[in-house]
Structure 1
Amino acid sequence: LRFSVMAFRLKFYIQFALIVSVILSSLHYYLKVKDYRFSPRFIRSMGEKYAGRSPSVYVKSIMTDLSASTAGPIIPPESWGVLDILKGRTAVHRQKKLSNEKSTVWLSVNLGGIQGRIHFFHLSWSEYLALVGVPMKSIGSSSLHWMNQSCTVLSGSLQRHRTEESFEHEHFEPGKHVRFGVFENYIVEISEDTWLLCYGRGLTMASFLYCFLGWISQADFFSPILMLSIALYSLLIDIANYSLQFYHRFF
């Protein structure tokens, strides 16, 4: 009887491992071949364009370039996502605040010990584009993510080195690009008043937990709600955009 129970459990574990392996392999293949909204080359060229300029122009200038591109709709700078509906913030109301930099929505983040703030231009389950600001010198870990990420240093500087290799480090000044591959972990040091334009492709939803743990550790319960609201808003924008494209193509 004991042997039968052990054989049943072993069979269950093997079947479970095979199912998980198939799901992960299928997801990895889909993320590799799917079409993405933004071109990494376009994002890098935009980062190089604004490197060294005043941080006060970043959001408005990047929004202007994104709106002029063929990337499709993006998140308005002052949008709280679907929470706008609860707050009664209409598109007309937001338009009146476009020229006010203080109206831009920022999320405070603690990423592996690095304290900063982040503004999303786009956020979906497989892709994100964001402006990251670090007001004070910070040292932390980039952690493991199921994403390929590239950040352009707009101002300040960034240093990093691989945790499993030597202590030789790389230094990045404004205009330089920092790449973080899938499941690559680095120790990162960011100088004060550093701004980064970051773009990532992969399973961004898996990294939400990484952000949530940082917020919960600081007893910040509003930021995860706001992030989910913005992510849902971005998803609705995508659905509306794809539906419109489908309609114009077949009708």
Structure 2
Amino acid sequence: LIVACNIIIQLQLNFFCISVMAFRLKSYIQFALIISVILSSLHYYLKVKEYRFSPRFIRSMGEKYAGRSPSVYVKSIMTDLRASTAGPIIPAESLGVLDMLKGRTAVNRQKKLSNEKSTVWLSVNFGGIQGRIHFFHLSWSEYLALVGVPMKSIGSSSLHWMNQSCTVLSGSLQRHRTEESFVHEHFEPGKHVRFGVFENYIVEISEDTWLLCYGRGLTMASFLYCFLGWISQADFFSPILMLSIALYSLLVDIADYSLQFYHRFFR
């Protein structure tokens, strides 16, 4: 009788353990399915949504200013963007929402764009490539920026949930796929280099290289990539400035879409 009771208890314990494991496995499968549905829906939305900027317009603008002096890039590109109907553009001197804390007025934002000291730049580390970046537009699904690399650098483009296209304005860029043969692609001023979704390249950039870069996709996911570079260099101001500019751009974007919605349906 004792042996039979022990067997029954052991069977019950085994059944309980199997039930717990089955419940956990079911929970894991449900969680994986939910994540899969969310990611698939997000991927589909990013594929079919309307974007503010035309890649053809950005490429033509890059070709227009390729080979010119870097001192005119910001002012000239800002002029072309404001003349277009692409959407809200971040002022060259804007620190984002930090402007409100510093009490900067509209007069401050009217400084001459030719004065480089008034243009806001972010120091960045792109997978080992040291440079600086100025955002013309930044949202959760789209960005347009001018990237400058003062010294020769070699690094990785890393994996991004974005399609990106950069026009070489000055200097040069070489790249090759990390998983393929060592065949180099060389890009001179006026040429366009494209980085697809989750495509990783080894990139070599010559000194004094300037790139006009445009990307579509989940830009917010790439913020972590930037933050890791800043933290590795003990740079704590750049992440704050990046968040300030991103929040400012998001608020302006929401206001612009709200205004368009109002004009479309209520006027």
How far apart, in 2, do the equivalents of 1:192 and 1:163 lie?
23
CA distance in 2, matches of 1:27, 1:8: 28
| Whole-angstrom CA distance in 1 between matches of 2:207 and 2:113 | 27
* Range with greater deviation from structure 2 (34-43 or 84-93): 84-93
The range that moved more, 235-244 or 76-85, is: 235-244
* 2:51 paired residue number: 36
**Unmatched 5+ stretches in structure 1:** none
1:186-236: CA deviation from partner (whole Å, max 9, x where unpaired): 000000000000000000000000000000000001101101110111111
SS at 1:91 equivalent:
coil
Q: C-alpha offsets along residues 105-164 of structure 1, whole Å, 9 cap, x if unaligned?
A: 000000100000000000111000000000000000000000000000000000000000
The TM-score with structure 1 as length reference comes to 0.98
Instruction: Give the percent of matched residue pairs that are identical in Structure 1 and Structure 2.
Output: 95
| In 2, Cα distance between equivalents of 1:132 and 1:98 | 17
In structure 1, how many angstroms separate the alpha carbons of the residues matched to 2:69 and 2:112? 20
Distance of 1:22 and 1:88 partners within structure 2: 45
C-alpha contact 2:125 2:226 (8 A) present in aligned 1: yes
- Tell which deviates more after alignment, 6-15 or 125-134: 6-15
**In structure 2, distance between residues paired with 1:14 and 1:242:** 38
CA-based RMSD of the aligned residues comes to 0.8
Worse-superposed segment, 80-89 or 96-105: 96-105
Structure 1: distance between partners of 2:108 and 2:124: 27
Partner of 1:199: 214
CA distance, structure 1, for counterparts of residue 111 and residue 76 of structure 2: 17
Q: How far did 1:165 drift?
A: 0.3
- Give the CA deviation at 1:97: 4.3
> In the alignment, is the contact (CA less than 8 A) between 2:111 and 2:118 conserved in 1?
no
Local SS of the residue matching 2:51: coil
Rounded to whole Å, the distance in 1 between the matches of 2:258 and 2:184 is: 47
State the distance in 1 between where 2:111 and 2:34 align.
52
Shift of 1:99: 4.1
Deviation at 1:98, TM superposition (A): 3.6
TM-superposed deviation, 1:248: 1.9
Partner of residue 174, structure 1? 189
Could you report, residue by residue, the CA deviation over 1:71-117 in whole angstroms, capped at 9, with x for unpaired residues?
A: 12200000000100011111222113444221000000001000000
| Distance in 2 between residues matched to 1:213 and 1:19, nearest whole Å | 28
Structure 2 gap ranges (5+): 1-17
SS at match of 2:113: coil
- 1:250 CA displacement: 2.5
Distance 1:126 1:96 in 2: 30
> CA deviation digits over 1:33-57, x for unaligned, max 9?
1110100000000000000000000
Number of residue-to-residue matches in the alignment: 249
Looking at structure 2, the residues matched to 83 and 50 of structure 1 have their Cα atoms a distance apart, in angstroms, of: 31
Return the alpha-carbon distance in structure 2 between the equivalents of residues 201 and 160 of structure 1.
21
Per the TM alignment, residue 70 of structure 1 is displaced from its structure 2 partner at its CA by: 0.8
Q: Point out the structure with max Rg over C-alpha.
A: 2
Residue 107 of structure 2 aligns to a residue in which SS?
helix
Worse overlay, 222-231 or 93-102: 93-102
